[in-house]
Amino acid sequence: MRTGSLAICFFILIANHLLFLANAELPDGTAIAALKKEFQVVQWPVHEPNYCLWLGVTCSSVDKSVEALELPHLNLRGNISLISQLKSIKKLDLSGNLFHGSISSSLGDLALLEFLDLSSNRLGGLIPPSFGSLLNLKSLNLSNNLLLGGIPDELRNLKSLQEFQISGNNLNGTIPWWIGGLSSLRLFSAYENNLFGKIPESLGLLSQLELLNLHSNMLDGVIPESLFFSGKLEVLVLTQNKLTGSIPVSVGLCKNLSSLRIGNNKLTGSVPASIGNISSLTYFEANDNLLSGELPREFAQCPNLTLLNLASNGLEGFVPVELGDLKNLQEFIVSGNSLTGEVPRSLLKGKNLNKLDLSNNRFNGSLPENICGTSRLQFLLVSQNSISGEIPPLIGQCVRLLELQLGSNYLTGGIPSEIGRIKNLQIALNLSFNHLHGPLPREMGKLDKLVSLDVSHNQLSGTIPTEFKGMLSLIDVNFSDNQLNGPVPMFAPFQKSPPWCFWGNKGLCGDPLSASCTSYYDAESDGSHRKASYKMVLAVIGSGLAIFFTVSVVVVLFTIRERQEMKSKKVNEVGVGGELPVAPVAIIAGNVFVDSLKQAVDFDSAIKATMNDANKLSSSTFSTAYKAVMPSGLVLSVKKLKSVDRTILNHQNKMIRELERLGNLTHPNLVRPIGYVIYEDVAVLLHHYLVNGTLARLVHEAPEDLFERDWSRRLLIAIGIAEGLAFLHNVAIIHLDVSSGNIFLDANYNALLGEIEISRLLDPSKGTASISAVAGSFGYIPPEYAYTMQVTAPGNVYSFGVVLLEILTSRLPIDEVFGEGIDLVKWVHGASGRGENPEQILDAKLSTISFAWRRQMLAVLKIAMLCTDTTPGKRPKMKKVVEMLLEVKQT
Ligand SMILES: *[C@@H]1O[C@H](CO)[C@@H](O)[C@H](O)[C@H]1NC(C)=O
Ligand SMILES: *[C@@H]1O[C@H](CO)[C@@H](O)[C@H](O)[C@H]1NC(C)=O
Ligand SMILES: *[C@@H]1O[C@H](CO)[C@@H](O)[C@H](O)[C@H]1NC(C)=O
Ligand SMILES: *[C@@H]1O[C@H](CO)[C@@H](O)[C@H](O)[C@H]1NC(C)=O
Ligand SMILES: *[C@@H]1O[C@H](CO)[C@@H](O)[C@H](O)[C@H]1NC(C)=O
Ligand SMILES: *[C@@H]1O[C@H](CO)[C@@H](O)[C@H](O)[C@H]1NC(C)=O
Ligand SMILES: *[C@@H]1O[C@H](CO)[C@@H](O)[C@H](O)[C@H]1NC(C)=O
Ligand SMILES: *[C@@H]1O[C@H](CO)[C@@H](O)[C@H](O)[C@H]1NC(C)=O
Ligand SMILES: *[C@@H]1O[C@H](CO)[C@@H](O)[C@H](O)[C@H]1NC(C)=O
């Protein structure tokens, strides 16, 4: 072995020498050799002397000088100024690396540069004024850094600039007037900075401008009329500034404007009628301004309008009947205005309408008889208006409704028993603060998904029907201020509620009220009888679960592949060419936890994405993930849970609570859910889209180029995941499916462990969900699970050990090449028995690159062996694993 190492060492020395000699003869040889040393580009091979063949290097065909250097996302750091020696360079892409410090002004010497992307690094300081010399520059991207100061005036010389992106920095100062002179500009994006002052009118001179995004700055003044003169603008985002004045009439000149987002400003005046001339308008968002006047009927001339949000303004008058012509309208949100007239019947006819939010206005008249005739309505929010008359019995046809808010109106009559037919009602049923009387219909007990029920402050009489115990998902109830009497049914959600939720009634008694029910029943015997039967029911459910448990382990283990295949076949039949499925799906429930993303997420688009296999990103034991582009431009990863386990759906509310809790769990190495949708019998979770896919893809599917073969990156990924898992264990969460298919990589190759929500959802120790969860993925399941049927922290350590082995060997956890009944773990553990040394296990493409790498890999191999010990008790704790891995990194 020693002679072998010596030989390799010698070879490297020679190779380095050769490289130096050979490259020195090429025009940029010295510069590139210096760069290789400075940036430590490990992907650049030692044995290939011609740098023109190296990753990311493109040479001129004439003299072999470097014309392009593209090294994005390689964890590079070092001093960028050396690049200024590459005098012929036209394209430089160093995005998504770890460069820090200030940007070297010597880059301004690269007179031929056309494309410069330094985005997503940690560059600070000022934008170098010397960039003003880059007269050929077409694209400049400095976004997502830590840049300070203003936009230097020297950049006024960049007359060729087409794309200018400086968003996501700490830039201050104003947007210079001269930007209007960069006559080729198509895209200007400077959002999320501290820019102040006015939007210069000169931007109107940019006859090619298609996208202008300045959201989240401190801009004031008006939206210049001139912005729309060229008619080229397609996307305008000015949300979250301090803009005043009115929406310019000239907006109507922009026929191609599809997205207009100007919410959260101080805009006044009315929405101009010229809005109807924007035939492409899809997304109009102007909520939280001071707009007044009427809602223009001209919106009806925008056939593609999907979202109209004018919430929290000062609009008056009626909702124009013509808006019913908007066949694509999905969300109509005008809450918090002073609109009046009847609930717009024409809108309710829209086949695609799923959210109608009229709350907090002055709508009057009665509710339409046929309130959900044809629509796909999920959110009907009409609280705080002046609506009178009765609740129409046909409300029972609103089968897709998730939330019904009718509180604080003047509704009279009884609660129609048909309300019990809205089986999907889930988020809330709020009838409070009306004038409803008569009994509570027992049919409401069928609303078994409902979480929040508020009937307070009416004149309801009679008893609370015992059938209400069918509302299995209830968490919040409020029966206060009515005329109800009799005992509060023995039902956990009632007894757990604070007593004031039952106060102000005529004669309610029993828990949680202090009034005993002796005048009605012999409370004592009734109560204990009920308690006994409650326990019996639980016992029955319990034994059912136990059987289900065994069955589903088998099912999960052996039929997942089959199901996957069947499903993808089905999808292919339905979604030919990525078109909409023939029948629209019925959304049962959905929510977005992150307020700032609420408007940007469109549930239908999310679901649609899961119907097209072309969008498929990854697949794991419990779910398949798809990429989904929202109409707002936001890109999500949409994860469809496999319907193997129907308990997920039966525990929706637990799921929602768990998801919301997980949404608050912050660790940089855990994927956090941002929302969910449930349709038919499918549950879909929403996450941010992580551009670099899964670790499984990186290790097993990436093309055979050197690019993906980077041990340092793999080690960082291992450390990240170990940290995420240690964090989970620390808060007593056991992961159910640690596998490389569940490890996601963001733009900077930070690793994030996914599917933590599944762990919560199906946490067997909580006893609420199916234990089918113990399965995990093939090849990662610790041997003891076969007999203990219990997920444990040491079990997670084992699975993590398998991930380490994958990283080290670039082999799959299960592969026929290992031989009959042998998986990766057995294969590695059996190596010494077979007389093989560690080098025969490790991925030679990594371990032979450098001695340092090889040494680290051997050390990590030791850790992996410990983690995959057959005896659970001998495996280290995750915390210890993190320490050991960090130690390896130090060496
Ligand atoms: C980078 O190198 C140049 C020239 O050698 C030097 O002037 C500059 O200070 C260095 N910058 C940093 C951030 O180290
Ligand atoms: C600029 O960089 C950001 C972040 O890396 C990226 O999202 C964006 O697409 C880039 N813009 C252009 C015009 O290349
Ligand atoms: C802009 O930021 C720089 C650096 O943080 C600071 O020195 C300067 O005073 C700021 N300028 C203004 C006008 O706020
Ligand atoms: C609008 O878009 C269409 C299609 O992309 C294009 O042909 C047309 O020139 C654009 N109109 C303007 C005014 O830019
Ligand atoms: C819409 O455009 C037409 C011409 O295309 C014009 O005559 C009309 O005045 C415009 N309407 C508004 C309200 O701007
Ligand atoms: C509406 O959207 C469709 C599909 O994106 C597009 O083909 C059509 O041109 C749009 N209509 C208008 C008037 O922009
Ligand atoms: C609703 O309000 C409008 C405007 O205030 C009024 O003209 C109309 O008579 C009202 N309708 C009902 C049924 O009260
Ligand atoms: C029900 O609606 C009323 C009136 O809009 C509101 O005050 C109350 O908070 C709502 N109840 C619940 C439980 O959200
Ligand atoms: C229940 O409704 C009453 C109004 O009747 C309200 O005062 C009270 O705050 C509500 N309680 C809860 C817990 O929502």
pLDDT at 650: 57
pLDDT at 785: 67
Same domain, 792 and 721: yes
Same domain, 788 and 812: yes
CB 866 within 8 A of CB 874: yes
Q: Note down the domain range covering 329.
A: 217-358
Q: Is 81 in the pocket of ligand 1 (CB under 6 A)?
A: yes
Q: In the numeric block, which tokens belong to residue 581?
A: 């499925």
Transcribe 579-642 into DSSP letters: PPPSSPP-EEEEEES-GGGTTT--HHHHHHHTT-GGGEEEE-SSEEEEEEE-TTS-EEEEEEEP
Ligand 7 centre to CA of 367 (Å) is 14
In a domain, 296, yes or no: yes
Which residue's CA is the closest to the ligand 5 atom numbered 9? 274
- Atom from ligand 7 closest to the CA of residue 365: 13
Question: CATH code at 781?
Answer: 1.10.510.10
Among 444, 461, 483, the domain boundary falls at: 483
Residue-wise pLDDT tens digits, 285-317: 999 999 999 999 999 999 999 999 999 999 999
Residue-wise pLDDT tens digits, 688-735: 888 888 898 888 886 554 445 789 889 999 999 999 999 888 877 888
Give dist(CA 643, CA 620) in Å, integer. Answer: 13
In a domain, 425, yes or no: yes
Ligand nearest to the CA of 218: 3
In a domain, 383, yes or no: yes
Same domain, 400 and 467: yes
pLDDT at 527: 38
Which residue's CA is the closest to the ligand 2 atom numbered 12? 141
Ligand nearest to the CA of 165: 2
pLDDT (average), residues 422-428: 85
The most confident of the ranges 536-540, 609-613, 756-760 is 609-613
pLDDT at 504: 92
The most confident of the ranges 249-253, 375-379, 533-537, 758-762 is 249-253
Average pLDDT of the chain is 83
Question: CATH code at 330?
Answer: 3.80.10.10
- How many folded domains does the chain comprise? 4
Which residue's CA is the closest to the ligand 5 atom numbered 3? 277
pLDDT for residue 140 is more than 90: yes
**Which is nearest to 191 in space by CA: 166, 211, 210?**
166
In a domain, 777, yes or no: yes
Question: What residue type is assigned to position 468 of the chain?
Answer: F
pLDDT at 833: 85
pLDDT at 737: 82
Same domain, 722 and 848: yes
Question: CATH code at 678?
Answer: 3.30.200.20
pLDDT (average), residues 74-81: 89
Question: What residue type is assigned to position 567 of the chain?
Answer: K
Ligand 1 centre to CA of 75 (Å) is 19
pLDDT at 816: 83
Same domain, 736 and 874: yes
Least confident of 261-275, 408-422, 825-839: 825-839
Same domain, 348 and 373: no
Locate all alpha helices (DSSP H) within 750-834, ordered by sequence: 756-761, 785-788, 793-809, 824-829
Same domain, 408 and 449: yes
pLDDT at 845: 82
Ligand 2 centre to CA of 283 (Å) is 22
Ligand nearest to the CA of 497: 9
pTM passes above 0.75:
no
Same domain, 376 and 348: no
Same domain, 727 and 677: no
Q: What percent of the chain has pLDDT over 90?
A: 51
pLDDT at 26: 83
Same domain, 656 and 720: no
Q: What is the pLDDT confidence band of residue 188, given thresholds at 50, 70 and 90?
A: very high
- Going from the C-alpha of 582 to that of each of 352, 377, 397, the distances in angstroms are 14, 19, 22
Same domain, 746 and 849: yes
Q: Is 527 in the pocket of ligand 1 (CB under 6 A)?
A: no
Q: Is 365 in the pocket of ligand 7 (CB under 6 A)?
A: yes
Ligand 9 centre to CA of 521 (Å) is 28
Of the residues 408, 432, 497, which should be mutated to test ligand 8's pocket, given the most ligand atoms within 8 Å of the CB? 432
Q: What is the pLDDT confidence band of residue 645, given thresholds at 50, 70 and 90?
A: very low
pLDDT (average), residues 118-131: 94
pLDDT at 580: 35
Same domain, 680 and 743: no
Locate all alpha helices (DSSP H) within 26-138, ordered by sequence: 29-39
Locate all alpha helices (DSSP H) within 682-710, ordered by sequence: 695-696
Among 664, 689, 714, the domain boundary falls at: 689
pLDDT for residue 873 is more than 80: yes
Residue 596, number of CB atoms within 10 A of its CB: 11
Q: Is 125 in the pocket of ligand 1 (CB under 6 A)?
A: no
Residue-wise pLDDT tens digits, 354-402: 889 999 999 999 999 988 877 688 889 999 999 999 999 999 999 888 8
Which residue's CA is the closest to the ligand 3 atom numbered 7? 149
- Going from the C-alpha of 506 to that of each of 116, 290, 455, 457, 463, the distances in angstroms are 75, 45, 15, 13, 10
pLDDT at 789: 57
Q: Is 124 in the pocket of ligand 1 (CB under 6 A)?
A: no
Among 339, 358, 377, the domain boundary falls at: 358
pLDDT for residue 837 is more than 60: yes
CB 110 within 8 A of CB 92: yes
pLDDT (average), residues 599-622: 83
| Residues recognised as catalytic | 737
Give dist(CA 171, CA 278) in Å, integer. Answer: 33
Ligand nearest to the CA of 189: 2
